[in-house]
Amino acid sequence: MASILRKSKVAAMIRTSTLQSQIRSMSNIPENTVYGGPKPQNPNQRVTLANLRQKHKRGEPITVVTAYDYPSAVHIDMAGIDVCLVGDSASMVVHGHDTTLPITVDEMLVHCRAVARGAKRPLLVGDLPFGSYESSSDQAVNTAVRILKEGGMDAIKLEGGSPSRITAAKAIVEAGIAVMGHVGLTPQAISVLGGFRPQGRNVASAVKVVQTALALQEAGCFSVVLECVPALVAAATTSALQIPTIGIGAGPFCSGQVLVYHDLLGMLQHPHHAKVTPKFCKQYCQVGEIIDKALLDYKEEVTNGSFPGPSHTPYKISADDTNGFLSELRKLGLDKAADAAEKNADSRLPNQGNPGSE
Ligand code: KIV
């Protein structure tokens, strides 16, 4: 009887440990190391297109924020944001380029993978970068497939609404990939737009916004970003469409809103190197100032020797091991190293491994 019980206990232990190692290799959950890590997240919680459709039907605004790396993705996840967009704005806010044009598919994939590790709940949308989808529908489908397969995204976004773009959007949807459209100011087209200019400010341009959005809907897009258009043009577009519109600089009459992570956090604000925050962007805090202050404080404390103090020097060595270590050092002819260990343990870090203390 005892042996049966022991066997079933061992089997249960093996099952638990196998499960634990599977969870670890399946996800971003680190072992219980000195670096800690996030709490496990439930993969079944992922926001789906159906969830977005239901929200839209109920008239509840959809929240979207961009992310480019693991920490921003974790924050967005924890905040319960619906959609996390790995935008090609990474080219500007992360890589420091003046436009979104230079970023490559391979660079986008690195951002996508990092975000996918951190954001387990939001729907993940990856931008197709400039130059990766304009040549043909085949090129567009191939890039979209990479964004899902290699980047771990759930959907892609592409800009513009020219006939070839609509055909490409349709081909991607037919390949089984959800597509978010993007009209109004489409930053990848600054060459023809003549810069980062708002759109829809005359009759022809306003009508074009609505028609392009309708064509994207017809192509099978699940939503459309409206960037930098007058609020009434956004209102008309939102009303004309059955799919949700996601506004950025397009006023309140959209089905949801998107902002760039760094912009909404006031992150790139340094007194001597302030990047322009777009007029439409509300800064919900000035993280840039907090970061500047923290870095200056760190520099000051390292310089004056107050960091790391006892509370940030956690690893102890017993008195016996300390004495053994010192005598080994001396045997190795490293008397100076032994003296330094003995002296410094005593002088700066009481009770932190100095000889004679535990
Ligand atoms: O790249 C991006 O961040 C975007 C949003 C501004 C919609 O396209």
Closest CA to 242 of 53, 16, 74: 53
Whether the pLDDT of residue 343 is over 70: the answer is yes
From 85, 107, 229, the mutation candidate for ligand 1 (largest count of ligand atoms within 8 A of CB) is 85
Residues with catalytic roles: 227
Give percent of the chain with pLDDT exceeding 70: 82
- Cα(184) to centroid(ligand 1), Å: 12
Residue 273 pLDDT class (50, 70, 90 cuts): low
From 68, 130, 186, 225, the mutation candidate for ligand 1 (largest count of ligand atoms within 8 A of CB) is 225
Domains recognised in the chain with CATH numbers:
43-287 (3.20.20.60), 310-352 (no CATH)
- Cα(224) to centroid(ligand 1), Å: 12
- Cα(92) to centroid(ligand 1), Å: 11
- Cα(263) to centroid(ligand 1), Å: 11
Task: Count CB neighbours of 190 within 10 A.
Answer: 17
Mean pLDDT on 161-186:
97
Nearest residue (by CA) to ligand 1, atom 5, is: 87
Q: Which of 47-61, 175-189, 224-238, 312-326 has the lowest mean pLDDT?
A: 312-326
Helix, strand, coil % in the chain, rounded to nearest 5:
50, 10, 40
Q: Quickly list DSSP for 23-52.
A: HHHHSS---S-TT--PPP--GGG---HHHH
Q: Each residue of 80-102: pLDDT tens digit?
A: 999 999 999 999 999 999 999 99
Q: Each residue of 14-70: pLDDT tens digit?
A: 454 444 444 434 444 445 567 766 555 455 589 999 999 999 999 999 999 999 999
Q: What is the pTM of this model?
A: 0.84
pLDDT for the residue 194: 86
- For the CA of 66, the closest atom of ligand 1 is 3
- For the CA of 157, the closest atom of ligand 1 is 8
From 66, 147, 183, the mutation candidate for ligand 1 (largest count of ligand atoms within 8 A of CB) is 66
Residue 345 pLDDT class (50, 70, 90 cuts): low
CA distance 306 to 28: 34
